[in-house]
Structure 1
Amino acid sequence: MSLSFHINFNGQCQEAFEFYAASLQGVIGTMLQVKNSPMSQSASADWQGKIVHANISIHGVELAGADVKPEEYQKPKGFSLLLGLSTADAVKSAFSQLSVGGDIIFPPQKTFWSPCYAIVVDRFGVPWEINCSA
């Protein structure tokens, strides 16, 4: 059995996954555009470059994603992706990357449970909690 996460994006899935690959040392496995799928014949021209399925491995955890039409998109709420890292410096680095163009909720700092913890909503609307587990 495995458990992973699937995130819907407002037309920015490819940009988001490329950003995560660069920022978090992720490895993109799949990036399937509508134009290369059976859906291409029924999709509009402006939708051909959108992503129907993508996946990326970040520190051994798979994250899947896809673009959804604007009228179907809802910003993620009620959850966060929790990124556990081994050092405070790694938390600060990941936070620095993910916060570019995003919203800082809780800047990196020591808490009673962690030497360094932070919360950010990235520029794609995805909420992240970043925790040092050391």
Structure 2
Amino acid sequence: MSLSIHINFNGQCQEAFEFYAEHLHGTIGTMLSYKNSPVSATQPADWQNKIVHANILIKDIELAGADVKPEQYQQPTGFNLLLGCSSENEVNTMFDLLSAGGQVILAPQTTFWSARYAIVIDRFGVPWKLNCGT
């Protein structure tokens, strides 16, 4: 048995996974477009290059994702991806990367449980918490 996280994207799955691969040192496994899948014939021409299924491995955690039609998309709520950082500087760096074009919920700061902690929603609509326990 395994546990993965699946995220629906508003047409930005490929861009998001390429960003995560570059900045979170992830490895993309699958990036399957609608045009290269068995459901290609049922999709409109402007949707053929969108992603029907993708996965990426980041530090032994698998994220999966897909693009959903705009009328089906809902921004993720009720959870955050928690990124454990090894230093205060790494929290600051990851915060700068993830907050660019996104929404800052809580700027990096010291808390009673963390040397550096921040909350951000990235430009792809994915909510993140960044934590450094040292």
What is the number of residues matched between the two proteins? 134
**For residues 30 and 118 of structure 2, what CA distance do their matches in structure 1 show?**
29
Residue 79 of structure 1 corresponds to 79
Looking at structure 2, the residues matched to 90 and 40 of structure 1 have their Cα atoms a distance apart, in angstroms, of 41
Mapped to 2, the partners of 1:60 and 1:96 lie a distance apart of 23
Aligned match of 2:33: 33
Give the aligned residue type for 1:86.
S
- Alpha-carbon RMSD across the aligned residues, in angstroms, is 0.9
* CA deviation map 1:59-101 (0-9, x unaligned): 2211000000011100111111111112111111111110110
User: Given the two structures, how large is their TM-score scaled by the length of structure 2?
Assistant: 0.96
Partner of 1:13: 13
Unaligned stretches of 5+ residues in structure 2: none
Task: State the shift of 1:133 in Å.
Answer: 2.8
Instruction: Give CA deviations for 1:40-72 in whole Å, capped at 9, x if unaligned.
Output: 111111110010000111122110000000111
Inter-partner Cα distance in structure 1 for 2:52 and 2:100: 26
* 5+ residue gaps, structure 1: none
Q: What code does the residue aligned with 1:130 have?
A: L
Spell out structure 1 runs of 4+ moving beyond 6 A: none
Q: Counterpart of 1:65?
A: 65
Secondary structure (helix, strand or coil) at the match of 2:2 reads: coil
TM-score normalised according to structure 1 size? 0.96
